[in-house]
Each structure stands twice: as structure tokens, then as C-alpha cells.
Amino acid sequence: MLSNVIHSLIWVVGILMLLCPAPYAENVFSYEDQKNFTRQFKIRVQRLVCNEAPYKETVLLECRMIFRRNQRSLLCMSLKVPKLYHYVMVQFQLNYKFTTYQTFLIDGKVEGCAYMRHQNKDPVLAYMYGVLKDMIPSVVHPCPLGNKTYTELTMLKEEYAPKSMPAGDYRMDVRFSTKTNVTLFSLQLFFGVRRRGILNSMIEW
């Protein structure tokens, strides 16, 4: 009962922080400043889904997770992109599983080619850019993109996450599409965040 109240309170505080995003967002989303800090939680990937496949303009060659005992799971993705693109819309959304998945902290979209030419100061975009550049470097590349097979063997690391995150289950959605909204690649990454140590709650968040 009490823990429910605390749980709700923390969510209210979290939502208030989202409503006044400026200093908070910079603090949370400055990826380069944050990635070296040790996290007080562990991330465990549960599932990788490349959704909406088969795609119209690209060929999904591989999309699977390799589970490894006591080590981070590997994420294997390979996509053949025969055409060239000067415009790639990137949409991303982090969802927290409350009873259903609710959008949480990260939700946005950006035209990737323009962004790579002139990175603006938007903290959420800068954060996603930092994460994607580390996680799938072959894709984060000046445009045009394509005429190529992109293959990445990667992992979801704790340092990709904000410095503190509520324990629980999450789903990260990332979708790449063309100017005419044709899906080039779309993935959903399901993962759990668990506290290291015994205090398995959101209190410290």
C-alpha cells in the first residue's frame, strides 16, 4: 500500500520533470558526459523484434538476439539497402511498461541526413545521436545512405541509458523511413532494468 503511494508519487515527480524539460533534459541527456559513469542498474535485453518486415525497399537478412550467460546479449542485424537515400526519417520512442507500455522520457523524430549535416542543440536528439553512433556506427554516416548492406553485431549497454532509470520493463522503438513513409527498417528492443543491490525500487530515481 505505502509502496504504491510512493510509486505513484515518484511518477508524478517524473512527469513534472518532463513538463519542465530544459535543465532536466540537459542533465539527463548529455550522453557524452554521462556514458563514463558506472550505472547503479543492470540492463538485460529480453527480445529483439524487427517489425513491419518484409520491407518494400530493403531486405532484412538477419535480426536476432544471441543470449549469453553472464554476459550481455548480442544483437545481430543485417539489412541490404539497394537504393540511395538523401532523406531518412528516424523515429524513436522509449516505452515503460506500467500495465501497458507508456511513452517515457524519449520520444521524437528527426530527418537523419539533415541532422548529420547540422547537429542542433536539441538534447534528446543529441542523446539519441550519441547512442546510435556507438551502437550502430555503420548507419550513422553522412548521407547518402544505401547502396550497401549494413551489418551490425552490437549490444545494449548500461551507459546508453540515462544515469538513473526506474527499475522495470522497457521497450525501445526505432524506425527508419523514407520521405514517402516507406519503412526501411524498424525495430523493437525489449529490455529489463534491474537495480544492482537490494533496494529494488524507484526511490533513488
> Which residues would be at the binding site for ligand NAG (CB under 6 A)?
32-33, 36, 84, 147, 181, 183
Q: Which of 33, 204 has the CB closer to ligand NAG?
A: 33
Nearest approach in angstroms of CB 79 to ligand NAG is: 16
Q: Which of 65, 81 has the CB closer to ligand NAG?
A: 81
Q: Which of 64, 83 has the CB closer to ligand NAG?
A: 83
Query: Are the C-beta atoms of 144 and 174 separated by less than 8 Å?
Result: no
Nearest approach in angstroms of CB 177 to ligand NAG is: 7
Name 82's Cβ contacts closer than 8 Å, sequence gap at least 6.
57, 58, 59, 146, 147
Which residue, among 24, 7, 48, 2, has the nearest Cα to 166 in the 3D structure? 7
Q: Which of 13, 84 has the CB closer to ligand NAG?
A: 84
Nearest approach in angstroms of CB 183 to ligand NAG is: 5
Cα-Cα-Cα-Cα torsion 132, 162, 189, 179, nearest 10 degrees, comes to -40
Q: Which of 52, 169 has the CB closer to ligand NAG?
A: 52
Nearest approach in angstroms of CB 4 to ligand NAG is: 35
**Distant-in-sequence contacts of 125-128, Cβ < 8 A, 24+ apart:** 126/29, 126/30, 126/31, 127/28, 127/29, 127/30, 127/31, 128/90, 128/92
Which residue, among 6, 36, 21, 1, has the nearest Cα to 205 in the 3D structure? 6
Nearest approach in angstroms of CB 5 to ligand NAG is: 37
Q: Which of 70, 181 has the CB closer to ligand NAG?
A: 181
Q: Which residue shows C-alpha cell 547537429?
A: 119
Residue 134 phi, psi (nearest 5): -75, -35
- Say if strands 74-85 and 145-154 run parallel, antiparallel, or are unpaired: antiparallel
Nearest approach in angstroms of CB 32 to ligand NAG is: 5
